[in-house]
Amino acid sequence: MAYAYCDHNAGSPLRPEAAEAMARALALSANPSSVHAAGRAARRLMEDAREQVAAAVGAAAENVVFTSGATEALHLALEAARGAAKSLILSAIEHDALAEHVPHAWPGARIAPVTREGVVDLAALGSLLDEAPKPALVAVMLANNETGVIQPIARVAALVREQGGLLLVDAAQALGRIAIDIAALDATYLVLSSHKAGGPQGAGALVLAPGAPFRIAKGGGGQERGRRPGTENIAAVAGFGAACKLADDEAARVRALRDRFEREAGVEIIAQSAPRLPNTSLFAPPHLRAETAVIAFDLAGVCVSAGAACSSGKVRKSRVLEAMGASPLAQTNAVRASFGWSSTDADVDALLAALAQIKGRRDAGVEAA
C-alpha cells in the first residue's frame, strides 16, 4: 500500500546520496584502524565523512566524535563534562534520551521551566544558575522534537558563560532544517543525529567546541581519539556524511508544505506563534486521543506521530506539553506531522484528506474516547 509519509521528525527516509555512499563503504570491507591499503581506504572514507559533518555545523573535523546516535552522544556529553561541571540544569522539554537518563546519571539535576509557547524561561534559568554549584552544565535543545519550537540558544549561552558554565545543545532535530553553527550558538557540546537528516539510522555525533572538557570514562580501543572506543560503523558514518552535505537544501520548499497544511487544517496548531522548525506542525484534533488519531491516520494511509516517536506505545500525556502548561485536551490529543526532503504536495493532500475524514466521523458522532 502506498502511503503519505509525514513523520520526518521520527526519521527521515534515506536520501539516495546517502545510500550510494553507504554502498561504496560496504564494498571496502576493511577496518579503518588497519594500516594496510584497504584499511587506509576505509579510514579516508570515514575522515571524509567527518569533514562533511563538521562543515555542516561550522566545527573542526577533529572535534567530531562519531556515535551510534543522538542518545549515545547525549550520554557521552554528560560523562565528558562530569569532571568539569559541579551541577546540571536541563530544560523541562529535553528529549527523553536525556530527561529519563539524568535522574540515574546525575541525581539532583535542576529543571528550567519553559513558557506557554515552549521557549525556555531565561529569567528562571538565570536564577537556577545563580543557585547551582558552579560551574554548571546546562542542557537546552536547539529545537524541540514535538513542537518544533526553536530555543534562543545564543541568549542561553550568554547566561551560562556569565556564570562560567558549560552548554550542551541537542541539535538532532535541527540538522538539515535550519542553519547550525557551533560557534554562533556558543555551545560546548553539540549533538547530532544522522537519520533525522536523511542519513541512515545508527549514526550520530557529539561535536565539541575547541577546548571542551572531555573526561574519558570508558576503556577499549583508541578509536575516535580515545573518546569513544569500538570499531566505527563505516557505512553508517559515510551515509551520515553524505546527508550532511545536503543540509538546509530544501528548507523553503518544506516550509511552504507545512504552512499550507496549517492554513487548511482547521485545527489548533500548538506553539504556532513561536519560532519553529520549518517542517514541524503539532496539532490537536478535538475529541480524539492522540493514540486513536494516529491509528486513524494510518488506516487512511498517512504516517504521523503522537508526540515523540520514541514514546510510541506509551499511553500518557505529553511531558513537553505539560511543561508548557498546555490544555489537558492538547496534552492528550496532540498529533505531530513533520515534513522533509521527500515530502510533496501529494503528502499534504493526503494528510488534509485524512484529517477531514477524522473530523467528519467526529461530527457524525462516531468518536473514540
Three cell numbers, residue 249: 537544501
As a three-state string, the secondary structure of the chain is: CCCEECECCCCCCCCHHHHHHHHHHHCCCCCCCCCCHHHHHHHHHHHHHHHHHHHHCCCCHHHEEEECCHHHHHHHHHHHHCCCCCEEEEECCCCHHHHCCHHHHCCCCEEECECCCCCECHHHHHHHHHHCCCCEEEECCCECCCCCEECCHHHHHHHHHHCCCEEEEECCCCCCCCCCCHHHHCCCEEEEECCCCCCCCCCEEEEECCCCCCCCCCCCCCHHHHCCCCCCCHHHHHHHHHHHHCCCCCHHHHHHHHHHHHHHHCCEECCCCCCECCCEEEEECCCCCHHHHHHHHHHCCEECECCCHHHCCCCCCCHHHHHCCCCHHHHHHCEEEECCCCCCHHHHHHHHHHHHHHHHHHHCCCCCC
Q: In this structure, what C-alpha cell is assigned to residue 295? A: 491509528
Spatial contact of 356 and 302, defined as CB atoms under 8 Å apart: no
CA–CA distances in Å: residue 291 to residues 169, 281, 288, 359: 30, 17, 8, 15
310 carries an active-site annotation: yes
Distances, alpha carbon 308 to alpha carbons 11, 86, 135, in Å: 11, 30, 31
Compute the half-sphere exposure of residue 214: CA atoms within 13 Å on the CB side of its CA. 21
How many CB atoms are closer than 10 A to CB 244? 25
Give catalytic residue positions: 310
